[in-house]
């Protein structure tokens, strides 16, 4: 159950209270998040929507520990990450977060296999064990037969699937997606979203996703809008589309 009023008591996987984020642009100070609250439970699939510049990516970055808030707390699986030091935060991120970016961000000089293996290099698994995990991850995304291809030999959709495999291979606590279909054509986008739904429904993954595409957002269980620095519950997907909002 997802809440944005800051009054969730139960076993939330992700708990955010009073999140503030300010940054400088030139001479102005932008107060992009203002006292944001969020509760997400394990297995939830949440989409964040909002106009450009509303801070969706900022929120995702904060949740993923690649940025620090100006004020407020973020607790994930019981760990309060807002006060972790640099190297501890990095270690936490390696263990708990799987990122899926719009630009896939695969390393071009590595094969699909090697790209997916990257997060495992941070663990103590042996070479054989790593191989096993990679093969599983790649077969989940349906690319087991392309293991040794380089990114330039893959289509956009395939690259994104490799990227997803990389995100799940170390079995992270939750997946953070930033416009995962932004660069894809409609057909590939559908395939990707089907995969993400499978991860949630079949494998019980928790997914937090930022998107501006209402059709993509519709796949999520819950849609939240970022408005004036806080999250507001969206109306059910269908009505959003009819209302023409959320773009």
Partner 1 sequence: MKFLPLIFANLFRKKIRLTLTLNSFAVALFLFAFLAVVKDAFNRGSDVAGADRLVVINRVSIINTIPLKYAAQIQRIPGVKFVTHNNWFGGIYQEEKNFFPQFVIDPENQRQVFPELVVSDGQWNKFLKNRQGAIVGARTAQRFGLKIGDRIPLKTAIWGAGSWEFNIDGIYHGKRAEDDETQLWFQWDYFEERVPERMKGQVGWYVVKLDSPDYAVNVAKTIDETFANSPYETKTETESAFAASWVKQFGNIQFLILTIGSVVFFTLLLVTGNTMAISVRERTSELAVLKAIGFSDLTVLFFVLAESLFIALIGGLWGLALAYGLIPFMGAALNGLLPNLVLPPSILGLGLGVALLIGAASGLLPGLGAMRLRVVNALRRV
Residues that bind partner 1 (CB under 8 A): 57, 61, 64, 66-67, 86-87, 90-91, 93-95, 97, 99, 101-103, 105, 107-110, 114, 118-119, 121-122, 127, 166, 182-183
Closest CB to partner 1 among residues 179, 191: 179
Closest CB to partner 1 among residues 10, 108: 108
Of all helices (H) and strands (E), which one includes residue 38?
strand 28-40
3-state SS class at 205: coil
Q: How far is the CB of 99 from partner 1 (least distance, A)?
A: 5
Q: How far is the CB of 183 from partner 1 (least distance, A)?
A: 7
Q: How far is the CB of 107 from partner 1 (least distance, A)?
A: 5
Closest CB to partner 1 among residues 57, 75: 57
Q: How far is the CB of 56 from partner 1 (least distance, A)?
A: 11
Q: How far is the CB of 223 from partner 1 (least distance, A)?
A: 22
Q: How far is the CB of 120 from partner 1 (least distance, A)?
A: 9
Cβ burial 19-44 (10 Å sphere, 16+ → b, else e): bebeeeeeeeeeebbbebbbbbbeeb
Closest CB to partner 1 among residues 84, 241: 84
How crowded is the C-beta side of 192, counted as CA atoms within 13 Å?
31
3-state SS class at 80: strand
Q: Give bridge partners of residue 15 from the DSSP assignment.
A: 39, 75
Cβ–Cβ < 8 Å for 37, 17: yes
Q: Give the total residue count for the chain.
A: 247
Closest CB to partner 1 among residues 93, 219: 93
CA pair distance 106, 165, nearest whole angstrom? 11
Closest CB to partner 1 among residues 74, 237: 74
Q: How far is the CB of 9 from partner 1 (least distance, A)?
A: 31
| The 71-76 sheet, strands edge to edge | 28-40, 14-25, 71-76, 79-80
Closest CB to partner 1 among residues 121, 194: 121
Q: Give bridge partners of residue 174 from the DSSP assignment.
A: 97, 206
SS (H, E, C) 7-35: CCCCCCCEEEEEEEEEEEECCEEEEEEEE
């Amino acid at each position: 159950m997802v809440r944005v009023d800051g009054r969730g008591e139960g076993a939330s996987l992700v708990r955010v209270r009073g999140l503030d984020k300010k940054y400088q642009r030139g001479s102005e100070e932008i107060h992009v998040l203002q006292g944001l609250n969020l509760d997400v439970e394990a297995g939830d699939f949440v989409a964040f929507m909002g106009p450009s510049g509303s801070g969706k990516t900022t929120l995702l970055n904060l949740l993923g520990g690649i940025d620090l808030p100006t004020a407020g707390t973020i607790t994930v699986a019981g760990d309060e990450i807002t006060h972790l030091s640099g190297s501890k935060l990095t270690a936490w991120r390696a263990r708990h977060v799987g990122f899926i970016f719009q630009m896939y961000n695969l390393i071009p000089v590595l094969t699909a296999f090697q790209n997916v293996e990257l997060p495992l290099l941070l663990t103590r698994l042996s070479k054989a064990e790593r191989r096993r995990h990679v093969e599983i991850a790649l077969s989940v995304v349906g690319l087991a037969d392309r293991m040794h291809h380089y990114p330039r030999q893959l289509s956009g959709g395939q690259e994104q699937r490799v990227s997803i495999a990389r995100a799940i291979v170390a079995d992270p606590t939750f997946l953070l997606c930033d416009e995962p279909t932004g660069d894809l054509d409609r057909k590939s986008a559908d395939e990707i979203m089907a995969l993400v739904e499978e991860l949630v429904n079949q494998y019980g993954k928790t997914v937090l996703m930022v998107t501006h595409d209402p059709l993509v957002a519709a796949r999520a269980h819950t849609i939240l809008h970022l408005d004036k620095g806080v999250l507001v519950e969206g109306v059910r997907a269908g009505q959003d589309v009819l209302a023409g909002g959320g773009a």
